Structures are given as C-alpha cells and as structure tokens.
Amino acid sequence: MTRRGSRSLNLICAYLAFVAVAVAVDQEKCDKTKCPGPLAYYKGLGCSPVYEKEGDCCATKYNCDHLKEKDPNKCYVNGKQYKIGEELRDEDKNPCDIGCTCIIGPGGIATFSCAIVDCFHGEPKPGCYITNYPLKCCPGDEVCPENPEARATCKVNEKEYKEGEFFSIESDPDLICTCQPGYKGENVEPFCVKPKRPYCHPEFSHSYDIINKCAPVYYSNQSPLTSCNAFSRCQNDNDTVIHTEENPKTHSSPNDEDVCHFGNMVMRLGDELNQDSDYNSICVRCVCEVPPVPTCQRLPFDVCDH
C-alpha cells in the first residue's frame, strides 16, 4: 500500500470512529421519557423501532409486520404457539397466572383465559406493614414489629426502602424486586425476579384487539411509555377521523406509510379520532403520533368529567 493510500485509510478510520462516538454521545443524552407513542404496547408486541436517522433518541414509527403472520387459532406467549385447550406451561407462567388455558375467545380468536385472583388485604394497622415477595402472587402477612426500628432496610440507587416495599433497578427495569432481610445489593432471587412473560403482553389475552386494530387506552395518570393499557377502543359505526390535511384518505392501502390504523380506518400523523362515539371513547383523546397504533389517553377529570 502506498503512503497516500495508507493516509486515506487512516482518515476513513478516524472519521468512522468520530461518527461512532457522536452517535454514542447522542444516545447518552437521550431521554426516552420524552418519547411519544404507546411504547410499552409496542414493546409487549415485539415491534421494532424505526428511526428517521441513526442516533435519534425517539422512533418515528414501529414495524409490527410480524403480527400479520400470527394464526388467529393459536395463542402466543414468548414467541411460542399454544393450541386451543393447552394450559400455560410453567416456563411461561408468572405468579398470578393461575389456571391459564388457551381458549376460543371473542370473534372466534384464540386467547388465554385465567382464573380471577383476588388479593385484597386492606390497609395495615398503624405501626404495621404488609410483606411482599416477587415470587408470590398476593401480598404476604401483616407484620407488627415490637421495635419498628428493627425493620430491615435496603439501599438501592441511593434511596432507602423498608422491608416489604417494592423497588426497581435502573439498569434492568424489567426486574421485580422487594426489600427483604439479607439484601446486600445483589438483584437475584429471592429479592428480585424477572417475569417469565411480560406483564404488558397484549397478545396474551387481547388477541382480538390486535387483529381488529383496536387502540390501547391509558388513564390520564398513566404513562404510555411504561404502563400497561387500561382498556382498548375498537372501531364502531359512529367513529370518524378528524383529519389535519386536505384530501384525506379514509381507507387503508398497501402503499400507505407513516399512518396509524384503527379498524379499517387510516389516520395520518396528527389526525385524531372523534370522542364519545361509544362507552370506551368517552373523554378519550386518540391521536396518530407514532404509527402504526394511535396513542389514546383519557382526559383528566378537570378537563372532561362525563
């Protein structure tokens, strides 16, 4: 290799290194809490983020094409198929997944149905607390220590938690952890456990909503970034799209890009759905922010109280 060729190669390597560092710096500055869209829903569905350019913090849309290949006669969890009548296996089961079976659900679409678990325990008496364990479905016993100062504590992320309290790990937010005696900063069982399936897993029991392109709805105090949706809004005959552009398209097409789909309706970026068309749309604002699923959130009661 000539000296000139070697110099050119060095310049190219230096440039690529600079680009890599610049992208890494941008990602370090990224604050995902400011990203719009129903991101927890996308994560639960296993959709892939699509960015306008490399190094961007927030995705402009998500690719959920893999959902088109799902068989409506099968249940799905953790990428596995279950036949009608099959019980949820232990390797896919969370503590409260009791009596879960793949059944034929609404619209003839397969879904998991589980036993209803009632964990009501009421408020603890003054000076007492309720124990919690990540490997158990319901809270444990009420503890009333003679010496409250003897209650175990756990220090996590420079914050102190008391025995029985839940805490989260910044570097691994999927972990479910509780403060227990003997915790020494190691986020392992029995102190912490990773769910065997995501709790925000729309396919588990809401396959009908996915196939019919219903929109997840969040309460006003929930974050679509981290919360499981409270319920779904599905298309009805009274629904209309409030377009922000002239000459709107009202029916989906294979060539549509960067649009949200609601039932058989198409929403362009910024478009909204009308409100109060049925019970699940009362005081619910739905806007196309990050396709292909609209972002729907109930308005605060001081804004809309009917």
pLDDT digits (tens, 9 = 90+) for 71-121: 999 999 998 999 999 999 999 999 999 999 999 999 999 999 999 999 887
Where residue 29 falls among pLDDT bands split at 50, 70, 90? confident
Where residue 139 falls among pLDDT bands split at 50, 70, 90? very high
What was the pLDDT predicted at 173? 86
Residues 108 and 203 in one domain: yes
- Side-chain-side CA neighbours of residue 137 (13 Å): 12
Residue 14 reports pLDDT greater than 50:
no
- pLDDT digits 0-9 by tens, 224-242: 988 999 999 999 999 999 9
223: containing domain: 65-115+199-303
Q: Percentage of the chain with pLDDT > 70?
A: 87
Where residue 249 falls among pLDDT bands split at 50, 70, 90? low
Which of 154, 169, 193 is the last residue before a domain boundary? Answer: 193
Ordered alpha helix ranges (H), the chain: 3-29, 39-45, 202-205, 207-211
Residues 215 and 82 in one domain: yes
Residues 231 and 109 in one domain: yes
Q: Which residues are paired to 27 by β-bridges?
A: none
Residues 231 and 289 in one domain: yes
Q: Is 90 exposed, middle or buried (0-12, 13-18, 19+ CB in 10 A)?
A: exposed
**Count of residues in the chain:** 306
Give the total number of structural domains in the chain: 2
First vs last C-alpha separation in the chain: 77
Residue 16 reports pLDDT greater than 50:
no
Residues 254 and 206 in one domain: yes
- The verdict on whether omega for the bond into residue 292 sits within 30 degrees of 0, i.e. cis, is yes
Strand-pair category, 48-50 with 61-63: antiparallel
Residues 262 and 209 in one domain: yes
Q: Percentage of the chain with pLDDT > 90?
A: 68
What was the pLDDT predicted at 13? 42
Where residue 143 falls among pLDDT bands split at 50, 70, 90? very high
- Considering the domain boundaries, does residue 36 fall inside one? no
Residues 173 and 228 in one domain: no
What was the pLDDT predicted at 9? 41
Euclidean distance between CA atoms 209 and 69, whole angstroms: 16
- Considering the domain boundaries, does residue 121 fall inside one? no
Task: Please enumerate in sequence order all residues whose Cβ is within 8 A of that of 80, keeping only pairs 6 or more positions apart, or say none.
Answer: 92
Residue 219 reports pLDDT greater than 70:
yes
Higher pLDDT, 17 or 88: 88
- Considering the domain boundaries, does residue 4 fall inside one? no
What average pLDDT is seen over the chain?
Answer: 86
- pLDDT digits 0-9 by tens, 258-284: 899 999 999 999 999 999 988 888 999
Residue 153 reports pLDDT greater than 80:
yes
